[in-house]
Amino acid sequence: MTSRADRLGPLALTVATLAATVAGALFVALGGGSSHKTPARRVVLVAEAPDPLASKSYPDPAGAVSHARAAAPAVAAAAAAPGAPSLQQVKQALAREHQIQRAQTGNAGAGGYIDPITGVFEPANVIPLKISQVIAGGNAIADFPYVYGGGHVSFIARAYDCSGSVSYALAAAGLIAAPETSGQLEHWGAPGPGRYLTVFADAGHTFMYVDGVWFDTAGRAGPYSTRWLHATPSLAGYVERHYPGL
């Protein structure tokens, strides 16, 4: 006769095996036993100082609950490399070029064209692909709600704060690997301004200057207005960073 212990033996072994497997998976997920440390380091969120300009960014936690999630930054970047344009697209591009020229005439020193309806930014000159991808990333979330901490658990979110917004746009061009806080962005890239792209950051707030236009959550006209702005924000106290070659 088979004893109760014998009958439970295979089951106990199966349970023990599953427990060991789960424990091992958690150990690896948390960084143990793995030589690739980047994911483990990114799992722990770095505390960010309160954004002193949050009130100017129209925080909208309620609106963010029902807002659609953004696509991954790489999906947004695809907009920077479209296929062959149709005749209708060429006509639209020419019409937009005229709008850009009028916008430049009316905004001395300002770059590009910010669509008043969609809030997207279109540069007025030929720029490197990486900058086009940054712009495409910024356009993808230009009118998303602002929520402090938004965009830090994952790039794919319903709302973004200042550093979450900048991180998303940079990630679209592969210039950053994971969301970073404004304090972390103080050390991103290389010191000083770039030719096409400059990130401004301090412990609590961050924004970018991209080919003559500002990308900033603060200073918008409303909770769903664009993050692209022509007006120059205060630059006092911010560290300037750029990506080498850009």
Domains of the chain (ranges; CATH) run 1-44 (no CATH), 52-242 (3.90.1720.10)
pLDDT at 95: 61
Q: Give residue 208's Cα distance to chain centre.
A: 11
Q: Which residue has the tokens 């770039």?
A: 194
CA distance 211 to 194: 10
pLDDT at 116: 83
- What DSSP assignment string belongs to 164-181? HHHHHHHHHTTS-SS---
pLDDT at 96: 59
- DSSP tag of 192: S
pLDDT at 114: 87
pTM of the shown model: 0.70
pLDDT at 112: 78
CA distance 57 to 51: 10
Q: How far is CA 192 from CA 39, 84, 232, in A?
A: 28, 37, 18
Residues in CB range of 216: below 8 A, 6 or more apart: 162, 207, 208, 227, 229, 233
pLDDT at 123: 84
Tens of pLDDT along the chain (246 residues)?
A: 444 444 434 433 333 433 333 333 333 333 344 344 434 444 445 556 789 888 889 898 888 898 999 999 999 888 886 555 555 655 565 565 555 455 444 443 457 788 888 888 888 777 899 999 999 999 999 999 999 999 999 999 999 999 999 999 999 999 999 999 999 999 999 999 999 999 999 999 999 999 999 999 998 999 999 999 999 999 999 999 999 999
pLDDT at 167: 98
